[in-house]
Structure 1
C-alpha cells in the first residue's frame, strides 16, 4: 500500500481484517448466530467469521465477528482537531497566570444533568489528578471549585457568577439518547443568556464520547475527548484566557 491510503491490518499488512462486537436482542441459538453473520455481511465483512457468542441476560446475545473489509482509508482526508497551543508545565502555567492576569484564574467544574460519573471531572480538577499528573487544584494560581455530580444548569450558572469564574468545565459520560449533547447545548445557551458576551466564562466540555470538532455546534469554546490530562486543560485555559480573550486584571 503506497502513499496515504491504508487498509486495516489483521494477519498480514493490508489484508483488511477487522474485529467487531455487538449485541442483538435475540436469545442465543443457531438462528441468532446466523443473524449476527448476516449483519456482519451487510456491514461489509466478507467473509465474516463468528468467533464468540454469549447469552447476555434474557433475550440478548453478545457477538464478536472477525472478517475482511474492502474499504480503504485516505489519511490525507482525515480531519482532526490538533492542539494549537503550547503544552506547559505547572510552573509555567502559574507564572503565566501571575504575569498576565495578576490574579488567580477561577475555574468551576461539574457533571450536569443526571450524570453521576465524576471520574472524569475529578481526574482533571482534584489534586490527585490522573496518570501521574496533578489536577488543577494543585496549581497555585488556579482557584478551583468542583461542584460534583448531578448539578443543574441553573446551579452551575449561579456558581459561576458567585465565583466570578473565568472558565467552566463540564464533564459528561452518559450518552443514552444523546444526553451529553442535549445537556451541553442547554448549558451553553443558559450561559449566553445569563452573561454579557464580554463577561461570559470560557465554556469547556469533556467526555469519552464527544467529537472534538463539535465545539461550535454545541456552543462551547473547546471539547476534550478521552485521554485528556490536567496539563492539557490547564495549558489551554492559559492560552485561551490570557492570549485570545486578553483578560484584564
Structure 2
C-alpha cells in the first residue's frame, strides 16, 4: 500500500507499507539461524525474536537443523512500520554510461595512451568471481570485461594479494586505477582490508600520483567512500561497462573539467 501525505512545508511524501498476501497488509518474511537444537522451544525462541523485531503476529513457516546445536528458521508475519520513500538516501550514478567503442575513443583521443588498471582480491579473500567478472574478457551476463577494451591495459593479480604487493604492482604498472573486490565479509574483513589498502596508498604515493581507488562487493555501503578512504564503491550487480564508464568520467572527463 502507498499513500501520499503532505508535510508541514507543503511537500508531498510517498509512504509505503510491505505487501504480502493483500495490498497494505504489512506482511514480511525473514530468515535467521539460532544456536539451539531444533525442538518446540527453539521454535518458540524464533517467534520471540521475531516479536522483538516488530513482527507480530509471527509464524514459523520453516525450521531445519543446521548441524549440531543450530537451527535455521523462516518466519512470516506482520509489521506496522511505514517507509517514507522520499527519505531514502542512495548514491546515484553521476556519470554517463558509455559503450566500449565510446570508452576506447575517449581514452585514445584525450589520454593519448592506454589507461592502466590493476585489480585484485586482497587479504585472505580467495573469491575471484567478482574481480574476474569485471576484468576478464569473458565478462558477465553477456557483457565483456575490461580486458576487451583495446585502450585499457588490465593487470589482474588474482586472489589473496597482500596490500604491499598491490601497492608495488600499481607502481610498476603505473596504474591509473586500482580495483579491489571483497566478497568475504566475516567480522567486517572487507572494511578492515579496504582501510588498510587506502592508508597504504596514501603513505606510499603523493596525492597527485595516487591511482584512483575503487572497491566492490555485495556487502559494501556505497556511501562509505570517505570513511574508507576510496574514490568509489560499487555494489552487487555492477557491470564492466559501468566501471569503464566511471574510469573515463573520473580520470578524463572530470579532471579536464576541473583543469
SS in 2 for 1:2: strand
Paired with 2:31 and 2:89, the residues of 1 have a C-alpha distance of 26
Distance 1:204 1:226, change over 3 A: same
The separation in 1 between residues aligned to 2:163 and 2:67, in whole angstroms, is 36
CA distance in structure 2 between the partners assigned to 1:14 and 1:149 by the alignment: 46
| TM superposition shift of 1:199 | 0.6
Q: CA deviation at 1:185?
A: 0.3
Cross-structure match for 1:240: 250
Shift, 1:243, TM fit: 2.2
How many residues are matched? 247
Deviations 1:34-72 (A, max 9, x none): 000000000000110110000000000000000000000
For residues 130-169 of structure 1, the aligned pairs below 5 Å read 130-169=140-179
Asked if 1:87 is matched to 2:88, the reply is no
Aligned residues: CA RMSD: 0.9
Which residue, out of 45, 50, 55, partners 1:35? 45
The aligned counterpart of 2:3 is: 2
Q: Which has the higher contact order (CA 8 A, sep 6+)?
A: 1
Question: Is residue 103 of structure 1 aligned with residue 113 of structure 2?
Answer: yes
Of 178, 182, 196, the match for 2:192: 182
Give the equivalent residue in structure 2 for 1:115.
125
Secondary structure of 1:245's match? helix
Give the ranges of 4+ consecutive aligned residues of structure 1 lying more than 6 Å apart after TM superposition: none
Equivalent of 1:209, from 213, 219, 222? 219
Question: How far apart, in 2, do the equivalents of 1:178 and 1:81 lie?
Answer: 21
TM-score normalized by the length of structure 1: 0.98
- Tell me which of 51, 67, 76 is aligned to 1:57: 67
Aligned mates of 2:203, 2:254 — CA distance in 1:
22
* Inter-partner Cα distance in structure 2 for 1:101 and 1:14: 54
1:225 to 235, 242, 246: 235
The gaps in structure 2 that reach 5 residues or longer are 5-13
Normalized against structure 2, the TM-score is what? 0.94
